[in-house]
């Protein structure tokens, strides 16, 4: 083969380069759209806009905080029914991504304030319930003592001992009514859910440490499987070291609301690809513009509390939830959505594929939430019974056109795998080095600082070729002493004019 000929299967010299995979180049938030407030009903959209302005936060953060508040009062007390065998609880896992001081905390605090009066109302009966609980505990103790006396007497008389009364076995802890928890072990959380069977919400200002601990077996790896079940409000049995026996829950519904910084994404979401990252809905908006303190607008928080209270008043309980059934028109639309989504999933892998796989369930949950938000603005006394086509269409648009782009930004930043992070690391090096060609050793030793072996470097190079970043050039012949031909790869000239990717390598 002549020196100017390209090896079989490689482009000829001078052949046009393909477009570089944009996920390796762009700032993750560059193409992520702003929250589509037009998909919400007017009063809720207005409250989000007002609150975001007052908090100097993007509306996106406030909107997901509101979604978290609705999930907190709903949980397993609201289910969306696709058909008799497919029920989705209104349990949501929501992650607000952004740099420090980007408005995440004020946005979450505003949504949290909406829940205060509802929690106070729930707790109003705690004192009476605690007295009733204390009575049952005392009754159990006395019955147990009497039963022991009866067993002793029967033994002396040679008679069979009596059965222990059911009431004598009562040993349940008293659990106060609550909507939110901040930090807890699975064992403690199970006790909380046992007393709040509609479910609770883990509400944390910072999720990274909690997520990181779940990846370490000694500190929570064994809890991870229970958390995965919590997203689906599934049944669980939890062995409790501090109690006499295991605790079985027919439903274990736990929503999650919190924030995370971009630089912690790889640490928090990396590791085992077991579907944890796929269960979250993300928002990673651009920073809010500067607003003068003199530019103040009123926030109608009282009205928002009243509307959320309307929702809380009509949700059911875990054993008898408020059920929202997809209307026929909504079901037809949903089926078409699922068909298109399945076709897209075939070409994907890793967290992105997992996230799309959770899409139908997430869409139905969001549709039930939008249905409740819309109903809360109206005058109807009876709660809604159906998810209409309009609500489902809004949920599909919100998930497909907004949440999907933000999830992609998160996965691009975190890296679907360690190999993906290596790709972005090499691209950053190529852009800063400004060189025209590279060898395998350049990639392995200089760009990746020997983080991979020769085979690993070959895999990275192969994927960069597929992404139109590199192209193999004709191999140089072996030297006079023999040996293998020298392989080199040309760098796409367009890389020099591309936007430099942000963030830290790896």
Alpha-carbon distance 375 to 368, whole Å? 11
Contact 69, 111 (CB under 8 A): yes
Alpha-carbon distance 33 to 417, whole Å? 25
The whole-model pTM stands at: 0.77
pLDDT, residue 79, reads 98
Q: Which of 194-203, 271-280, 336-345, 448-457 has the lowest mean pLDDT?
A: 271-280
Reported as a single tens digit per residue, the pLDDT across 180-220 is 998 778 888 999 999 999 999 999 989 988 887 775 544 45
Mean per-residue pLDDT over the chain, rounded: 87
In DSSP terms, 489 is beta-bridged to 438, 472
Q: CA nearest 392: which of 4, 39, 28, 12?
A: 39
Cα of 292 vs its chain's centroid, Å:
33
Q: How confident is the model at residue 306 (pLDDT cuts 50, 70, 90)?
A: very high
> CA-CA distances (angstroms) from residue 459 to 335, 406, 420, 440?
39, 28, 11, 10
3-state DSSP assignment of residue 246: coil
Reported as a single tens digit per residue, the pLDDT across 149-158 is 999 999 999 9
pLDDT, residue 244, reads 66
Q: How confident is the model at residue 5 (pLDDT cuts 50, 70, 90)?
A: very low
Is the predicted pLDDT of residue 238 greater than 90, yes or no?
no
pLDDT, residue 32, reads 85
Q: CA nearest 491: which of 401, 431, 413?
A: 431
pLDDT, residue 247, reads 87
Q: What share of the chain in percent tops pLDDT 70?
A: 88
Alpha-carbon distance 284 to 259, whole Å? 10
Reported as a single tens digit per residue, the pLDDT across 69-81 is 999 999 999 999 9
Query: Which position has the higher pLDDT, 241 or 349?
Result: 349
Count other Cβ atoms within 10 Å, centred on residue 387.
25
139 HSE (CA, 13 A, CB side): 11
pLDDT, residue 61, reads 98
3-state DSSP assignment of residue 132: helix
Q: How confident is the model at residue 8 (pLDDT cuts 50, 70, 90)?
A: very low
Is the predicted pLDDT of residue 263 greater than 80, yes or no?
no
Contact 208, 230 (CB under 8 A): no
Q: What is the mean pLDDT of residues 469-477?
A: 83
What is the residue whose two structure tokens read 């109903």? 375
End-to-end C-alpha distance for the chain, whole angstroms: 40
Q: What is the mean pLDDT of residues 148-176?
A: 89
Contact 26, 501 (CB under 8 A): yes
Domain 29-125+177-414, CATH: 3.40.50.300
User: What burial class does residue 219 get, using C-beta atoms within 10 Å of its C-beta: 0-12 exposed, 13-18 middle, 19+ buried?
Assistant: exposed
Alpha-carbon distance 370 to 387, whole Å? 9
Q: What is the mean pLDDT of residues 412-438?
A: 80
pLDDT, residue 504, reads 34
Reported as a single tens digit per residue, the pLDDT across 28-42 is 665 689 999 999 999
Residue 324 in tokens = 């929202």
Contact 97, 286 (CB under 8 A): no
Q: Which helix (H) or strand (E) holds 107?
A: helix 104-123
Count other Cβ atoms within 10 Å, centred on residue 58.
24
pLDDT, residue 2, reads 40
Is the predicted pLDDT of residue 282 greater than 50, yes or no?
yes
pLDDT, residue 273, reads 66
Alpha-carbon distance 359 to 337, whole Å? 10
- Collect all residues with Cβ–Cβ distance below 8 Å to 228 and sequence separation of at least 6: 274, 275, 276, 279
Q: How confident is the model at residue 500 (pLDDT cuts 50, 70, 90)?
A: very low
Is the predicted pLDDT of residue 301 greater than 70, yes or no?
yes
Q: What is the mean pLDDT of residues 389-401?
A: 98
User: What burial class does residue 349 get, using C-beta atoms within 10 Å of its C-beta: 0-12 exposed, 13-18 middle, 19+ buried?
Assistant: exposed
Look at the chain and count its residues. 506
Q: What is the mean pLDDT of residues 297-301?
A: 84
Alpha-carbon distance 394 to 330, whole Å? 11
Residue 37 in tokens = 């407030």
Q: How confident is the model at residue 251 (pLDDT cuts 50, 70, 90)?
A: very high
Contact 191, 239 (CB under 8 A): no
Q: 456-461: long-range contacts at Cβ-Cβ below 8 A with a sequence spacing of 24 or more?
A: 456/422, 459/419, 460/419, 460/422, 460/423, 460/426, 461/489
pLDDT, residue 219, reads 45
Q: What is the mean pLDDT of residues 474-492?
A: 75
Is the predicted pLDDT of residue 444 greater than 50, yes or no?
yes
Strands 86-90 and 386-387: unpaired
Q: What share of the chain in percent tops pLDDT 90?
A: 59
Contact 81, 87 (CB under 8 A): yes
Residue 325 in tokens = 């059934």
376 HSE (CA, 13 A, CB side): 26
Query: Which position has the higher pLDDT, 227 or 9?
Result: 227
Q: Which helix (H) or strand (E) holds 48?
A: helix 42-55
Q: How confident is the model at residue 374 (pLDDT cuts 50, 70, 90)?
A: very high
Which CATH entry fits the domain spanning 417-497: 1.10.10.10, 3.50.50.60, 1.20.1050.10, 3.90.550.60?
1.10.10.10
Is the predicted pLDDT of residue 163 greater than 90, yes or no?
yes
pLDDT, residue 218, reads 47
């Amino acid at each position: 083969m002549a020196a100017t000929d390209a090896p079989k299967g490689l482009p000829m010299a001078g052949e046009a380069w393909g477009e570089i995979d944009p996920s390796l180049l762009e700032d993750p938030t560059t193409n992520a759209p702003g929250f589509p407030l037009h998909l919400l009903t007017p009063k809720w959209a207005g409250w989000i806009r007002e609150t975001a302005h007052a908090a100097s936060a993007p509306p996106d953060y406030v909107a997901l905080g509101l979604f978290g508040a609705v999930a907190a009062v709903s949980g397993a007390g609201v289910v969306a029914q696709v058909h008799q065998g497919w029920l989705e609880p209104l349990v949501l896992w929501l992650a607000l991504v952004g740099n420090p001081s980007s408005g995440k905390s004020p946005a979450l605090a505003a949504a949290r304030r909406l829940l205060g009066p509802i929690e106070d109302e729930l707790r109003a009966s705690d004192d009476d319930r605690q007295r009733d609980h204390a009575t049952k505990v005392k009754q159990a103790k006395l019955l147990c003592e009497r039963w022991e006396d009866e067993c002793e007497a029967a033994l002396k008389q040679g008679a069979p001992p009596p059965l222990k009364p059911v009431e004598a076995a009562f040993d349940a802890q008293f659990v106060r009514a609550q909507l939110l928890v901040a930090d807890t072990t699975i064992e403690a959380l199970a006790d909380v859910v046992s007393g709040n069977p509609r479910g609770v919400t883990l509400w944390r200002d910072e999720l990274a440490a909690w997520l990181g601990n779940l990846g370490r077996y000694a500190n929570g790896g064994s809890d991870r499987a229970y958390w995965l079940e919590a997203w689906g409000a599934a049944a669980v049995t939890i062995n409790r070291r501090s109690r006499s026996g295991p605790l079985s829950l027919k439903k274990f519904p736990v929503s999650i609301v919190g924030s995370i910084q971009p630089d912690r994404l790889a640490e928090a979401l990396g590791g085992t690809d077991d579907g944890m990252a796929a269960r979250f809905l993300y928002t990673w908006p651009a920073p809010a513009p500067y607003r003068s303190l003199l530019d103040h607008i009123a926030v109608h928080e009282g009205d928002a509390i009243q509307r959320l209270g309307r929702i809380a008043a009509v949700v059911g309980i875990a054993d008898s939830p408020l059920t929202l059934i997809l209307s026929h028109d909504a079901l037809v639309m949903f089926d078409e959505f699922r068909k298109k989504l399945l076709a897209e999933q075939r070409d994907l892998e890793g967290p992105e594929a997992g996230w799309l796989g959770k899409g139908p369930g997430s869409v139905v949950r969001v549709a039930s939430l939008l249905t409740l938000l819309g109903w809360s603005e109206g005058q109807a006394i009876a709660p809604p019974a159906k998810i209409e086509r309009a609500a489902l269409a809004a949920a599909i648009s919100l998930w497909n056109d907004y949440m999907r782009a933000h999830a992609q930004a998160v996965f691009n930043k975190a890296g679907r795998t360690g190999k993906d992070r290596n790709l972005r690391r090499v691209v950053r090096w190529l852009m800063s080095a400004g060189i025209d060609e590279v060898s395998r050793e350049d990639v392995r030793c200089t760009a990746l600082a020997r983080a991979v072996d020769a085979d690993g470097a070959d895999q990275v190079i192969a994927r960069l070729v597929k992404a139109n970043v590199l192209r193999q050039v004709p191999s140089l012949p072996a030297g006079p002493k023999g040996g293998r031909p020298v392989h080199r790869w040309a760098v796409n000239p367009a890389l020099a004019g591309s936007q430099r990717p942000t963030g830290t390598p790896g």
